[in-house]
Structure 1
Amino acid sequence: MIFLQMTSTLSLSPYRIFTRNLRKMTAVGVSSPLSSSQLTLALFYGRLFPNNCLHFIYSSYSLHWLSKVPPALYDEHGKSINKGKVYISESSPPNVSQAYLNQFQADFSLFLRCRSEELVPGGRMVLILLGRIGQDHIDRGNSFLWELLSRSLALMASQGALEKEKLDSYDVHFYAPSKREIEETVRRDGSFETERMEMFEIGREKENGESYGTRVAMTVRAIQESMIRLHFGEGVDLDALFDIYGRMVDDEMAEAKGGIKPITFVVVLKKL
């Protein structure tokens, strides 16, 4: 995620680039005449910029990633209350979905508070994030893709390819909010008004001869590979895991009940 900070002071450099990706930062530095002092590596939760310096902020596919796995997923003995699952599922106790919602609200509220301090009055934000259609956490959208990853890991565990005990303690730092949850968090923060909010279903057609399952598997692997390897050990066969996962996604897409329908929200907020 890259932010451009525009300034009106002629004696200063006209812009700074802030990025949370070191490779992007290096690439920008190589291709532009900026000194290292003009490039700042930062996380998007917490403060990034001086007060009242921005007119526009754009966040693309970031805010569904939580700052951490919700601590409430573990009991007082450090044992998972969501055993065998990496995310909210039909078998999860109710406090699992509540733990994820609480973490999302805390993170999103912090994001809104910090960005409101950095934006000028009337400044706008465009946010793109994954979500879900209704209030039910168990749907056949983004949440179901994590259910299929749980099933893929469970199959690998049943084959002895990874430790079952480690599966019980693996959780993703992701949350697919509903339209209502986003609106309520914005309203509770009180710094912004929602100018527009649209919901889109992500395209699922073949691209370059690759099935939808293959593309989803590649995307999820890019995000989860390092964390899975760290948690389960270097010996885990990631090629086998994501081959299983991709085939499961394609099988579900072929089902008559509608396949899988991931949802994306586009939100336009104006600072009050």
Structure 2
Amino acid sequence: MEVTQVLHMNGGDGDYSYSNNSLVQRMVISMTKPIMEEALTDLYFAMNFPKTLTMADLGCSSGSNTLLVASEFIKILDNIRQKVGHDELPEMQIYLNDLPHNDFNAIFDSLSKFHKNIATQIASPTSLPPCYFSGVAGSFYTRLFLSNSIHFFHSSYSLMWLSQVPEFKNTNKGNIYMSRTSPTSVISAYCKQFHTDFLMFLQYRAKEMVSGGRMVLTFLGRRSDDPCSKECCYIWELLAMALNDMVSEGLIEEGKMDSFNIPQYTPCAKEISNEVDKEGSFTINRLDISEVNWDAYADNNPNPLKNSVRGYNVANCMRAVAEPLLVSHFGESIIEEVFIRYRNIITDRMSKEKTEFINVTVSMTRKC
């Protein structure tokens, strides 16, 4: 699997699009807004009220969440401007980065509406905020920007995706991710790939960021030191159950199942901290852990949702993320059946136990 070619969220605005099934990600961005606000406030004062600021959102995807980050960036800066009594916002260059197959067209189609909306939400005396957008297609495990050019990096729910599927010495039979039944070598390969990738990420961002710049990263992660913890692997184990059922019925080839693995690793706070210390270019200001319900719609609904509805919501959320990976490996013909089974499995498990995603957020400063 060539990850850079197949890893992207479902585009467009259909029933299974990321745009319509990313409330969890939206809630996480909102939950971490105070950390972003703190980092930007410190940056603004440390730079002595700059006239220009450059921000990059890494793994921006597409849909309303993409420009939610930009919107918060602008509104936070406008609030800071008002508090210190400045007449004008700094000019802002915002880079939106994701892999080449991301739906960038949908993003840029929505910019005109975005500019009109944001102008009504800020107190700037100008009719439109001085904000300029550019798309940057490419992996954040490579160099993306000029040296010493970025003041603020942001990424949410992206850095758990690996640059490649780890290379295994043994087959991860019956699994599509790490689990209790995975060989030790598989678990070690996943851990090694994450540490290699994240160290590389930090090295590239250190070159691209100005001294004193800020970076806020949120990972889908875990509390436990155990990389096979249920709190981070369970959602994929349930998908593996659906696929294995189809293997047993002859609907999927066993060899196809055994060769499919998700290019993801959900780190704990200690792993993130260790890699930041090892790379050496950044100081950690905050390292927080939070959680969000698998079904974010349940948290936003005043009335309890039926388990079948909750299962449908979670399955669609995962489909928006995982469908391109599944299609590239198994083909389109199995997709509907896989997600019908997956939805039923999720519904059953959510009726019996508490299900949450764990988030790890780190706020850092580029050392001078």
Q: TM-score range by the shorter chain?
A: 0.7 to 0.9
Aligned to 2:197: 107
Instruction: Give 1:233 shift.
Output: 2.8
**How many pairs align?**
252
Is 1:132 aligned to 2:228, yes or no? no
1:271 partner amino acid: R
2:333 partner SS: coil
User: Cα–Cα, structure 1 residues 127 and 16, in superposed 2: closer, same or farther, change >3 Å?
Assistant: closer
Deviation readout 1:1-26 (Å, 9 max, x if unpaired): 3598xxxxxxxx97363432653356
Aligned to 1:227: 325
1:239 partner amino acid: E
Instruction: Give 1:249 shift.
Output: 1.8
2:265 partner SS: coil
| Residues 1-272 of structure 1: pairs in structure 2 closer than 5 A | 1-2=59-60, 15=93, 17-20=95-98, 22-25=102-105, 27-28=107-108, 31=111, 39-71=135-167, 73=168, 75=169, 80-204=170-294, 206=298, 209=305, 211-236=309-334, 238-255=335-352, 258-272=353-367
CA distance in 2, matches of 1:204, 1:235: 27
User: Cα–Cα, structure 1 residues 14 and 261, in superposed 2: closer, same or farther, change >3 Å?
Assistant: closer
2:309 partner amino acid: S
TM-score w.r.t. length of structure 1: 0.84
Contact 1:57–1:125 at 8 Å: present in 2 too? yes
Instruction: Give 1:201 shift.
Output: 1.2
Structure whose residues are more often helix by fraction: 2
User: Cα–Cα, structure 1 residues 204 and 84, in superposed 2: closer, same or farther, change >3 Å?
Assistant: closer
CA distance in 2, matches of 1:189, 1:169: 33
Instruction: Give 1:90 shift.
Output: 1.0
User: Cα–Cα, structure 1 residues 158 and 61, in superposed 2: closer, same or farther, change >3 Å?
Assistant: same
CA distance in 1, matches of 2:226, 2:111: 47
1:68 partner amino acid: Q
2:171 partner SS: coil
